[in-house]
Amino acid sequence: MNVCSVSSCSTMYVRRMSARLVRSKAQLLKSVSLGVGLALGFIIWVNLILVSSRSSLWTACEDLDVSNVIESLPSVSPGRDTLVYVGVMTAKKHLDNRVVAAQETWVRYLPGKVEFFSSADSADAAPNGVPVVALKGVTDAYPPMKKSFLMLKYMYDHYVDKFDWFIRADDDVYIKGGRLGRFLRSVDASRPLAIGQPGFGRPEDRAAMRFEARQNYCMGGTGVVFSRETLRQVGPHIRWCLNNLYSVHDDVEFGRCFYNVANVTCSRAHDCQDIFLNNYEGYKEGNIGDFERPAVRRAMTLHPNKLPEHQYRFQMYLLSQRMREARHRTLLLSREIHHVTALLSGDQDDSSESRRSRSLLLTNVPENASHWDYFKVKHVFKVNGNLRYNISDEMKAGLRDVLAQHTENLNPDRWKTATSIRALKAGYRRVIPRLGVQYVLDLRMRRERRDTRRHVMLQQTFLRPEFTELHH
């Protein structure tokens, strides 16, 4: 039996423990190295599988070469606005009607570039001066899946680095270029975004559409707006999206592609229902309906306007509104000039009587002013003679115009309607030839989800008379 001293036993114990620690440390390092290697190997394997599968999908799909495109146009000149590029889907039969109407109306005011995408046999049918892209191997058959996704790939191949925003649009839409430009310049295009009127599908159809809980799509009729970053992420995988379709609606498949590839869903803001206006009531007639509606004034894109005359008529309406606003600004500036001139000349008569005489709500009735006429929704009751007659179309148009302007004055933020006029109960009206038409209206209004009833006094001024000499 060997007996060791206390000092020697302690030394041997320390050596044995050190050896065990060294062995356990080496085993730990081997385990960590093995785990890291397995993880890296798994990541590399997954990437190889995904790349190879996408490559095989690319090679399996035919007729997707858009490099050889008929009637392709030169790139955008450096001096032109490169804010937005709009790809408009159309067909050969609409080139000489809808496309020409769009080219002569809203396209002229768009802050960017617009091209119309049609079938391969549309090159010879394109009107002069209309930028038409005839996609190779594409027909006008419905549903236009191939046309839609090839247009998206054309945007990616030619313009992904030249524009901040992109829009997929139909040929029966009207786009307000000025309002669109102000809106897009306020949003960051470097983020992956898709903006439009959100669609979710009916609950019974979502299972067939294979949509997840948070998944949606931008409805194509009013236009799908997406950022440069979204197109940059989706562009390399367009062919994969085209080979994985589950419905016959191209806007639904656009939303699926954005979600599966870039994890981008359509905007869910409530105001998008108004900014991207779709007139469901007049869908069969193919027009956007009453121009005087507040929703039409707030909208950025409007759909549908299928007939060319509808596009031209709405364009004339917008131009007339612009002329009226210019006249109003001119009137305000002339009043300001007159006021400053009076101050500089020392004529500062600003008594209460002069203020009342300058007010729109006149207290001194001119001698040539007519009597107040009481009216309801359908009839006018004359004070002198106790007569009753139906409201004329001119009076209805004047009332709509006055109420629309009053709604705009109540809502300084044009993107959001905080106060709305729900109904016109009754009112009084009189004509002052030197000034215009005055109204006292009994209105039912809604503000902050509460209904109120108010009496307002408004004045609609006459324009200056214009004389034109006619030669017979």
Name the helix (H) or strand (E) containing 218: strand 217-218
pLDDT at 376 over 60: yes
Q: Which of 16-30, 77-91, 380-394 has the lowest mean pLDDT?
A: 16-30
Note the pLDDT of residue 224. 97
Q: At residue 57, what is the residue type?
A: L
Give the HSE-up count for residue 328: Cα atoms under 13 Å, Cβ half-sphere. 9
Q: Which of 57-66, 298-307, 347-356 has the lowest mean pLDDT?
A: 57-66
pLDDT at 57 over 50: no
Plot region of 323 (φ>0 → left; ψ -120 to 50 → alpha; else → beta): alpha
pLDDT at 74 over 50: no
pLDDT at 368 over 90: no
Which sign does the torsion angle of CA 375, 376, 377, 382 carry?
A: negative
Place 396 in a pLDDT band, splitting at 50, 70 and 90: confident
Residues 183-202, mean pLDDT to the nearest whole number: 92
Note the pLDDT of residue 120. 93
pLDDT at 50 over 90: no
Strands 436-447, 165-170: parallel, antiparallel or unpaired by DSSP? unpaired
CA Rg value for the chain: 34
Closest CA to 183 of 216, 227, 152: 227
**Strand order through the sheet with 436-447:** 388-390, 379-381, 373-375, 419-432, 436-447, 450-461
Q: Given 3.90.550.50, 3.30.70.270, 3.30.300.20, 3.20.10.10, which CATH number is that of 84-310?
A: 3.90.550.50
Residues 52-70, mean pLDDT to the nearest whole number: 34
At 247-303, the pLDDT tens digits run: 889 999 999 999 999 999 999 887 888 899 999 877 778 899 888 887 888 899 999
Q: When comparing pLDDT for 50 and 423, which is higher? A: 423
Own/partner long-range contacts of 281-287 (Cβ < 8 Å, ≥24 apart) = 286/172, 286/310
Note the pLDDT of residue 46. 43
> What whole-number percentage of the chain has pLDDT above 90?
39
CA dihedral 102, 105, 106, 109 (to 10 degrees): 140
Note the pLDDT of residue 189. 92
Residue in the block written with tokens 């507040």: 294
Which tokens hold the place of 391?
A: 């409201």
Indicate the domain borders of the chain: 84-310, 359-461
> What whole-number percentage of the chain has pLDDT above 70?
76
Note the pLDDT of residue 23. 57
266, 217 Cβ separation under 8 angstroms: yes
Q: Which of 40-49, 85-94, 124-133, 405-414 has the lowest mean pLDDT?
A: 40-49
Whole-number Å distance between alpha carbons of 106 and 167: 14
Q: When comparing pLDDT for 434 and 64, which is higher? A: 434
Whole-number Å distance between alpha carbons of 115 and 101: 14
Q: Where is mean pLDDT largest: 12-16, 105-109, 125-129?
A: 105-109
Which tokens hold the place of 190?
A: 């470097």
CA dihedral 347, 348, 353, 358 (to 10 degrees): 80
The model carries a pTM of 0.65
Residues 317-329, mean pLDDT to the nearest whole number: 88
Q: Please, what is the average pLDDT of the chain? A: 80
Residues 432-460, mean pLDDT to the nearest whole number: 87
Place 113 in a pLDDT band, splitting at 50, 70 and 90: very high
What 3-state class would DSSP assign to 299?
Answer: coil
Helices (H) and strands (E) in the chain, counts: 13, 17
pLDDT at 466 over 80: no
Place 21 in a pLDDT band, splitting at 50, 70 and 90: low
Residues 12-36, mean pLDDT to the nearest whole number: 57
Q: When comparing pLDDT for 47 and 166, which is higher? A: 166
